[in-house]
Amino acid sequence: MDCCGLVSPRVGAVSPDEFTEFYAASFRRLVGQLYAMTGNSAEAQDAVQEAFVRAWAHRAKLEASASPEAWVRSTAWRIAVSRWHRARRGRLLARSQPPPPADNGPSPDRIALVDALRKLPAEQRRAVVLYHLCDRTVAEIAAETGAPIGTVKARLARGRAALAAQLRDWAAVTPGGGQRAGGA
């Protein structure tokens, strides 16, 4: 067994037991080294873990490598640097966009609709949402849910009737009748 826990004389990929020994012997050390390089303990752990996942997938390279630990360390470093670049690009993109408009929260109409949808049985709610909010056809809903077309139509009809009754009740007790200002 070499210094990193891998047996070299055999040709081929590292065995699961050898890889487990290698992981156990070097994970903490590699995390410590990467932490020193990155200054971020969580990032170091994530990058080393991802590097070991890649090492498992490339066991043949690991076997051929003069230093498997160096291979994992350099892979972890590249992962950390790649994440920094992506985060930096994300921050630059966010800065280049105008600020989002102020959101005063959902309108009373939206709250009433969500509340009414919550009161529907799950399958009726699913059919209504897929049809009206996701713009799916009855046939597409049937295919997605595994229900016959007739069942989807029945769920839609029952769901719409229940929603109409609940929203009618809400409009009756709401000042302004549940209508938006200046609209019908």
pLDDT tens-digit map of 89-123: 888 888 888 877 777 888 888 888 888 888 999 89
- Per-residue pLDDT averaged across 10-23, rounded? 79
Closest CA to 123 of 102, 94, 152: 152
Domain residue extents for the chain: 16-96, 108-178
Using alpha carbons, select from 63, 58, 55 the residue that is nearest to residue 9: 63
Cα angle, residue 29 at apex, residues 28 and 34 outer, rounded to 5°? 95
Residues of the chain above pLDDT 70, percent: 86
Q: Report the alpha-carbon distance of residue 126 to residue 147 in Å, rounded.
A: 12
Position 11 pLDDT exceeds 60: no
Residue 161 scores a pLDDT above 90 = yes
Q: Do residues 80 and 30 lie in contact, with contact meaning Cβ atoms separated by under 8 Å?
A: no
Q: Tokens at residue 104, please?
A: 């005063």
Q: 151: buried, middle or exposed (CB in 10 Å: 19+, 13-18, 0-12)?
A: middle
> Does the model's pTM come out above 0.85?
no
Higher per-residue pLDDT: 177 or 3 = 177
CATH of 108-178, one of 3.40.50.300, 1.20.910.10, 1.10.3720.10, 1.10.10.10: 1.10.10.10
Mean pLDDT of the region 160-172: 88
Q: Nearest to residue 115, comparing CAs of 168, 78, 163?
A: 163
